[in-house]
Structure 1
Amino acid sequence: MPDRVEKRLSRLRKQGCISCLRNGRHGIEKESLRVTGEGRIALSPHPNSLGAALTHPYITTDYSEALLEFVTPPFADVSETLAHLQDLHSFTARVLARQEEMLWATSMPCAIGGDEGIPIAEYGRSNGGWMRHVYRRGLAYRYGRAMQVISGVHYNFSLPQRFWQLFANSDDAGVLRNHRDIYYFGLIRNFQRSGWLIPFLFGVSPAVCKSFLQGRSSHFEEFDDHTLFEPWGTALRMSDIGYKNKNQAGLGISYSDLESYTRSLERATRTPDPEYERVGTKDNGQWRQLNCNLLQIENEYYSFIRPKQNARPGERPVTALRERGVEYIEVRALDVSAFDPLGVDESQLRFVEAFLIYCLLQESPPLSEEEEREIDVNQQRVACRGRQPGLELLRDGRAVRLSEWTREILDGMIGVCELLDANHGQGRYQAALKAQQDKLANPDLTPSARMLREMREHGEGFFDYAHRLSRQAMEHHLAQPLSREREAELTRLAEESLAAQARREAEDDVDFETYVRRYFETA
């Protein structure tokens, strides 16, 4: 274990960290494509029985009208988070069953018939709803629609107040906020350095439908007439065909500290891009995108991990961060697991929690330009070749075997998992770590290897395989009990969200152009 991690763990133990890790907060945002029984993207509108995507607290849409997003509140234990997520899936499955639809069980989408077959999400006639829609139109012009319907699981995590009081050795609010901001950004930098570990251990997108590439050439191999794959791949979702997007390679977003991060992110939302200027903001009076800048809004930046602060209505994310600091961390590196009906399981989340704490306790110097280049290379190598025997990554200007670096990280996490179990884990964190140590010893245990193995065993290409698992997940959700009280609550929330959207539409008192201008003047 690195000396710094050991020293900080030792200090926490000596300070009486008996319960200092209890009551951290764990939330999930999980995306799933809504598809027909035949496995095609659903062209039907977002079901009214699920409420209004604009205003529902738990059930919304992401890029597409067919791309559902389930959002849990933050809970003190991941088991509570997953129970809430299951209720949302069970409720939604009952609604979709009535219209002969289901949820797609993998990150990479089903068969795609071109961009025109992917409906952009609609959010009603209010200015806020229309802004969301126009923003998504802009994404289509900039990146294409297919990339936008790749699904993922986002894990939101924050450490409890008691931890920060011990870690900062202070109860002063200003000191605690400053400490959180500094160390959360240190966590983020270290996650970027070694976050390739997540797709190696949990990636489950080594194959994709040929239709996803829409005729573009690629370096992938043919699995069958309809499937492309990487033999040693782990997470093509995280590769150059997914969210590792070349369009954003030169944005220069800084993670040195909160001020440089918000300043560089805001600069990207104010700097015109010649290519996007050629697209234009409007065409014959029809909006194409919100603006012609490098980023239309901050959320357009595709980062695998983000500092977050809950924004108030009409407040920009950079403003919320500047005024109130980092509230939690959003990890965006998780594939939707085809082997778990919810797309994620408890052991996985407990491991990621321990890994994030490990990243926070390590030394975290600023990222140099050379190190940022190494990070990009490592992410691409692991996404496409992560299980290749002897694979080497780059670290501090030299080559190091992925297996050696992984072993160092997992060994370094032992003390973190012991502390988490002593706090409240009942051995579950050490068990989660052991499961990953087993994968290092035998990469055939990784979910990406399992997917390719089962596709071969069943004689199925990616589409048929994912379609079968999607049907199985649908059967699981329909079979899960949903109490009358919970069903009544979710029905009530759907009705209230529809009423809330109608109120927003009635309350608008300026035209859309004025609304957009005022929004960008708030930072």
Structure 2
Amino acid sequence: MPELATQRIEQLSQTDAFQYLKSLQRGIEKESLRTTRAGLLAQTDHPKGLGSPFTHPRITTDFSESLLELITPVFPSIDGALASLDEVHRYVYSQLGDELMWTASMPCQLPEDAAIPVARYGSSNAAKMKTAYRVGLGNRYGRAMQTISGIHYNFSLPEGLWPHLQQQRSAESQALSIQDFKTESYFHVIRNFRRISWLLPYLYGASPAVSKCFLQGQQHDLQELDDSTLYLPYATALRMGDFGYQSNAQNGLAICYNKLDNYIETLKQAIVTEHPDYQKIGIKKDGAYQQLSTALLQIENEFYSTIRPKRVTESGEIPLGALQNRGVEYIEVRTIDVNPYLPLGIDKDEIRFVDCLLLFCLFDDSPECDDDDSARINSNFKAVVNHGRQPGLQLQQRAGNVAMSDWAEELLQGITAIAKHLDALHGGGNYQRVCQQQLEKLHNPALTPSAKILADMQKNQQSYFEFALAQSQQHADNFKKTTLSSEQIDAFETASHESNQRRAALESESTVGFDEYLAAFYQQYQQL
């Protein structure tokens, strides 16, 4: 109930620890395809001036050699995170020549699947593993699906806040070590976020349409909008849908978020259990790796999820091992579309709202989930992704069906209560203003980004491709107008040079064969 979240933050506001909420920790990872000026997928290598994507701390690639991923450090302020993201965009544009960064989640004009280049990282064992994993994704799901872009939002609470939060909780929670309490609390947030994760695609989803080339002959339920565009009339975030998958293997995968041990065990089983469809692919063909394994998941990252518990790994360490050994360090929100209207794909107001929503998830009650709960979570999310703006849309709760608008309005009341306290901390009324804007989107779906995109396409008689290309060209021109300072340029050039040195050092240190390296990597799962 929102009343519990309101009560808990009210109690915290009466203590000195309340000030810690002023320094929430956040980092941003933003994906963008490199394209030609005409909007075709770039077939060029990762630009040399950007350093090594394997070892650069801020500029890497995701699935494809053409899919940039720009990373900010962790910041205690929204302004700091966005300034860092803006800075790295400007540096990248200084190295792109005539190429663009595609500023939308659904991709540009794609070639045939086999011509989409898989990312390359070098000759070290760890680099070979990253590439082989991506080859496996392409063989399992098709390469086109892996060109979808998104924004991942990494969130954690200031260290000084945890002891005070622990005092608010049950005697059982108070008996835990501080790290175990953090881990328990982050899973508390994750469970609540999953229950209401559909709210973000409705409010901020920005991928209601896609170019026909993305499907490349696959079966789908989309409708034709024009000669080159597919869409669903009330869709909010097709990026988060499942129409791109050629395999239904993950449909029956039930990952448990009740406790860390449950999470580790259920995800581990998916990584060590063979799957018939992937056994048919095989691990090698003519000596070349076709995937890392024949299990349901090659590694943890292959599991499709809206939010993840995270811990920075040590060299060669598996993510589940890091979580088991040292607990959860932060959470990664994965439901944020790249907004084509925004130069960075995200802005201050969206971050303000996401922060309020995550704090609401922290302070609200969070009962454990069973299989029925998980089924409802998946059904609700899929309904909003595909039909979120449909009048009268019904979602499922444990007590029965409920109008999405009624549930969303109740949630916004609780989130606004959080916003009120954040405004008291920061001064002004920005957090409450953002919540009011979301309420207006609820009452008038035409205000949502997904609806605006379709309306602008119709108004300007543009296909999805033409709309996204125009936005990408406009943002590129703006980024190129403002140059970085000499100090900023020097810092990026140094980072690129040092990344190349680290990659070379790793390659010279590889002393065992890749097969042996991979076997040792997977042995860690057996030891969990």
TM-score range, shorter chain: over 0.9
Q: In the aligned structure 2, how far is the partner of 1:338 from the partner of 1:173?
A: 47
Tell me the equivalent position of 1:3: 3
Deviation at 1:246? 3.2
Q: Partner amino acid for 2:90?
A: S
Deviation at 1:252? 1.7
1:287-316 CA-to-partner distances (Å, cap 9, x unmatched) read 111111111111111111000011111111
- Alignment map for 1:421-500 (pairs within 5 Å): 421-424=423-426, 426-500=428-502
Q: Partner amino acid for 1:161?
A: E
The question of 1:90 aligning with 2:80 is answered no
Tell me the equivalent position of 2:123: 125
Secondary structure of the residue aligned to 1:329 is strand
Tell me the equivalent position of 1:107: 105
Tell me the equivalent position of 1:27: 27
Gaps of 5+ in 2: none
Partner of residue 365 from structure 1, selected from 367, 370, 374? 367
Tell me the equivalent position of 2:66: 66
Contact map agreement 1:147 1:241 (CA 8 A) in 2: no
Tell me the equivalent position of 2:14: 14
Contact map agreement 1:89 1:477 (CA 8 A) in 2: yes
Contact map agreement 1:21 1:162 (CA 8 A) in 2: no
The question of 1:345 aligning with 2:347 is answered yes
Deviation at 1:444? 0.6
Deviation at 1:10? 2.5
Q: In the aligned structure 1, how far is the partner of 2:505 from the partner of 2:124?
A: 9
1:434-479 CA-to-partner distances (Å, cap 9, x unmatched) read 2211211211110000000000111000011111111001012112
Deviation at 1:398? 1.4
Contact map agreement 1:19 1:424 (CA 8 A) in 2: no
Secondary structure of the residue aligned to 1:123 is coil
Deviation at 1:195? 0.6
Q: In the aligned structure 1, how far is the partner of 2:55 from the partner of 2:111?
A: 30
Deviation at 1:243? 7.5
Q: In the aligned structure 1, how far is the partner of 2:220 from the partner of 2:283?
A: 32
The question of 1:309 aligning with 2:311 is answered yes
Moved over 6 A (4+): 170-173
Deviation at 1:173? 11
Q: Partner amino acid for 1:165?
A: P
Deviation at 1:174? 5.6
Tell me the equivalent position of 2:161: 163
1:158-178 CA-to-partner distances (Å, cap 9, x unmatched) read 011222121112999963212
Tell me the equivalent position of 2:203: 201
1:296-339 CA-to-partner distances (Å, cap 9, x unmatched) read 11111111100001111111101111111111010000000001
Deviation at 1:18? 3.7
Tell me the equivalent position of 1:153: 151
Secondary structure of the residue aligned to 1:307 is strand
Q: In the aligned structure 1, how far is the partner of 2:311 from the partner of 2:446?
A: 39
1:99-134 CA-to-partner distances (Å, cap 9, x unmatched) read x11100100001222212210000011111111000
Tell me the equivalent position of 1:283: 285
Q: In the aligned structure 1, how far is the partner of 2:72 from the partner of 2:244?
A: 25
Secondary structure of the residue aligned to 1:313 is coil
Q: In the aligned structure 2, how far is the partner of 1:474 from the partner of 1:240?
A: 30
Q: CA RMSD in A?
A: 1.7
Secondary structure of the residue aligned to 1:32 is strand
1:10-32 CA-to-partner distances (Å, cap 9, x unmatched) read 22123334402122211000000
Q: Partner amino acid for 2:110?
A: I
Deviation at 1:390? 1.0
Contact map agreement 1:237 1:243 (CA 8 A) in 2: no
Contact map agreement 1:41 1:117 (CA 8 A) in 2: no
**Superposition TM-score, scaled by structure 2 size:** 0.96
Deviation at 1:76? 0.3
Q: In the aligned structure 1, how far is the partner of 2:488 from the partner of 2:176?
A: 40
Deviation at 1:425? 5.4
Secondary structure of the residue aligned to 2:401 is strand
Tell me the equivalent position of 2:57: 57
Query: Relative to 1, partners in 2 of residues 1:243 and 1:397: Cα closer, same or farther, differing over 3 Å?
Result: farther
Tell me the equivalent position of 2:42: 42
1:69-108 CA-to-partner distances (Å, cap 9, x unmatched) read 0011110011100100000000001111x2x111001000
**Superposition TM-score, scaled by structure 1 size:** 0.97
Q: Partner amino acid for 1:459?
A: Q
Secondary structure of the residue aligned to 2:224 is strand
State percent identity of aligned pairs.
Answer: 43
Tell me the equivalent position of 1:267: 269
